[in-house]
Structure 1
Amino acid sequence: MALKVNLELLAELVAFKHYGTLSATAEHLMITQPTVTRGMKRLEEELGVTLFDRSISNHIKLNDTGLLAANEAAKLLKEVDDFTDKILNFDRLKDKFTVGSMIPGPLGFLNALKDQIAVQPVINWELVNPESVAAELSNLKEKVIFTDHEIINEEFESLYLGREYLKLEIDPFNPLAQKEAVTFKDLTGLTFLVLRDVGTWRGIVEDNIPQADFLSQNSVNAMTTISQYSRFPFFVSNLSQNLPDTVERLKGGDRVMVKIDDPNNQMEIYGTYLKSERRTVQPLLKAMSQAWPK
């Protein structure tokens, strides 16, 4: 006969493994210590095993069986959370074409392209953590996620869209403005205006421009305002240079666009999705690929 185990008790067990004491576990779960004590005894009774070593007075710790149980409970609770997320996302988004991304450029490009494509996507502007791509697709939070690498396995596949690369917008009186192209090393020591959340691009520019300072802004509006009243250089990409926000930022003609000719200045962009969604998502991705700025 299958056991029926209370998920709340499993959550208490996982918390105990993490925090190590009844008092710390109770504090984390915002319940009383006697409640935790009773819960752990009840869990042992339901399982029919001993989970704790109580040989030391006023102190308990997980025995080997308890450690195994806590590890397996953590896996089970995650599966339950994934199940719940998947059902809720399906019900909430079943009639919507949701799109996310690890980097902002493809989202802005897609948003500008919306009137030219049949599908009307719902864009999630909060960037997806690279480690969360598989989970968000599996749990149906997004139908497509733009990634900076290809993912192909039994569950997922990626369609190559094109490359994104940066250009420099710089004060026309800066000597670099007279050059046809610059490298990242040429930008040593400069101070740049940048958006705080640019995904993979942030690491690329910080790692490849020596001794540079980056004035991070939380919003595009802040970037636009500061760039219009300052001489700090900033970056645009082939995906963002013609977007309305960028055009607004460049009003006044107080910047010169300079090409960045550097081997590190390129990123391959893919549309990654569940194979089961192939027929749904590929028309949108192919339309993006055909319109991709060179």
Structure 2
Amino acid sequence: MIENYLLEELITFAHEHTLAKTAAALNVTQPTITRGMQKLETMLAVRLFDRQPNRITLTPTGQLAAQEAEQLLTQQRTFVTKIQNYEQSLVTRTVETTLPGPLALLTHLKTVLPNTLRVRQPLIADDQITEHLINRQASFIFSNQEILTAGIESRFIGTENLVVHLQRFMYRANQPSITFAELKGISFVVLSAIGIWKDIIQQAIPDAKFLYQPQRTAFTEITKYSDFPYLVDCKIN
């Protein structure tokens, strides 16, 4: 059986292209890399490297071996992660979200939720949903996307609305409703982790200024003690 460290050396060489850079990247000596490459060739009974007096490169077979090795190690890591996550899921159900509304709601309901339910922060990206569910990193995920596959089912549970809080002396604050166009040119305090709403507000109100706050505590303090208008999306129907 080929040991993983030999595959790691091959993959790293394919990326770094020299023995010296490969050794530095793996924090080992150059002779160690040389011996590892020779051992790998012996075990596979093929020529992986084209050795010249002042240069060493991968043969076409070596290039294929590096690609396959990278896929193999990725599959191994996925295997380990999936099994560990499954073991954890037998004890704890993990929920993730791409939207801040459900996160705020679950945080508010924390005292009445089961102890076996774990809410993971921060928000995840849309392109992580399928991977996290397949690898059992999450038991379920709140998102604005509908995904229906052989192993994933989506259900509609409600809508999330964006709420704007305006300074009471602004004429717009006395209207029963407001459009994005009417918010043109206003400066807003906004949480950085606002999910898909960030793209929406930046496209819908291009002339507005958004003062993004990475910490919810700072956001809360600013909105509590200042007259800055702010946007929040925790209203769920």
Taking structure 2 as the reference length, what is the TM-score of the superposition?
0.92
Tell me how far 1:46 sits from its aligned partner: 1.0
Q: Secondary structure at the match of 2:153?
A: strand
Q: Quick check: 1:36 aligned with 2:33? A: yes
Equivalent residue number for residue 136 of structure 1: 132
More displaced, 215-224 or 16-25? 16-25
Tell me how far 1:213 sits from its aligned partner: 1.9
String of CA shifts for 1:24-69, please: whole Å, max 9, x gaps. 2211111112211211111111111111222x32211222111111
Equivalent residue number for residue 179 of structure 1: 175
Equivalent residue number for residue 230 of structure 2: 234
Instruction: Identify if the C-alpha distance between structure 1 residues 152 and 26 changes in structure 2 by more than 3 Å, giving closer, same or farther.
Output: same
Equivalent residue number for residue 13 of structure 1: 10
Unaligned runs of 5+ in 2: none
CA separation in 2, counterparts of 1:80 and 1:211?
A: 49
Equivalent residue number for residue 88 of structure 1: 84
Q: Could you tell me which amino acid in structure 2 is paired with residue 24 of structure 1?
A: K
More displaced, 113-122 or 187-196? 113-122
User: Is the contact between residue 91 and residue 116 of structure 2 (CA under 8 Å) also seen in structure 1?
Assistant: no
Equivalent residue number for residue 74 of structure 2: 78
Q: Could you tell me which amino acid in structure 2 is paired with residue 25 of structure 1?
A: T
Q: Secondary structure at the match of 1:53?
A: strand
Tell me how far 1:117 sits from its aligned partner: 6.4
String of CA shifts for 1:196-240, please: whole Å, max 9, x gaps. 122222111112211222211121110011112222211123xx2
Q: Secondary structure at the match of 2:137?
A: coil
User: Is the contact between residue 10 and residue 37 of structure 2 (CA under 8 Å) also seen in structure 1?
Assistant: yes
Tell me how far 1:73 sits from its aligned partner: 1.0
Equivalent residue number for residue 207 of structure 2: 211
Q: Secondary structure at the match of 2:155?
A: strand
String of CA shifts for 1:57-111, please: whole Å, max 9, x gaps. 2211222111111111111111111111122222334211110111121122234
Equivalent residue number for residue 169 of structure 1: 165
Mapping of residues 79-158 of structure 1, within 5 Å: 79-113=75-109, 121-158=117-154
User: Is the contact between residue 96 and residue 123 of structure 2 (CA under 8 Å) also seen in structure 1?
Assistant: yes
Q: Equivalent of 1:191, from 187, 192, 196?
A: 187
- Percentage of identical aligned residues: 38
Q: Secondary structure at the match of 1:27?
A: helix
Equivalent residue number for residue 261 of structure 1: none
Q: Could you tell me which amino acid in structure 2 is paired with residue 105 of structure 1?
A: G
Unaligned runs of 5+ in 1: 242-292
Q: Quick check: 1:26 aligned with 2:23? A: yes
Q: Quick check: 1:61 aligned with 2:57? A: yes
Tell me how far 1:119 sits from its aligned partner: 8.0
CA separation in 1, counterparts of 2:104 and 2:200?
A: 20
Count of residue pairs brought into register by the alignment = 237
Tell me how far 1:150 sits from its aligned partner: 0.7
Q: Equivalent of 2:49, from 45, 49, 52?
A: 52
Q: Could you tell me which amino acid in structure 1 is paired with residue 19 of structure 2?
A: L
Q: Secondary structure at the match of 1:98?
A: strand
User: Is the contact between residue 114 and residue 121 of structure 1 (CA under 8 Å) also seen in structure 2?
Assistant: no
Tell me how far 1:148 sits from its aligned partner: 1.6
Q: Secondary structure at the match of 2:106?
A: helix
User: Is the contact between residue 189 and residue 212 of structure 1 (CA under 8 Å) also seen in structure 2?
Assistant: yes
Taking structure 1 as the reference length, what is the TM-score of the superposition?
0.75
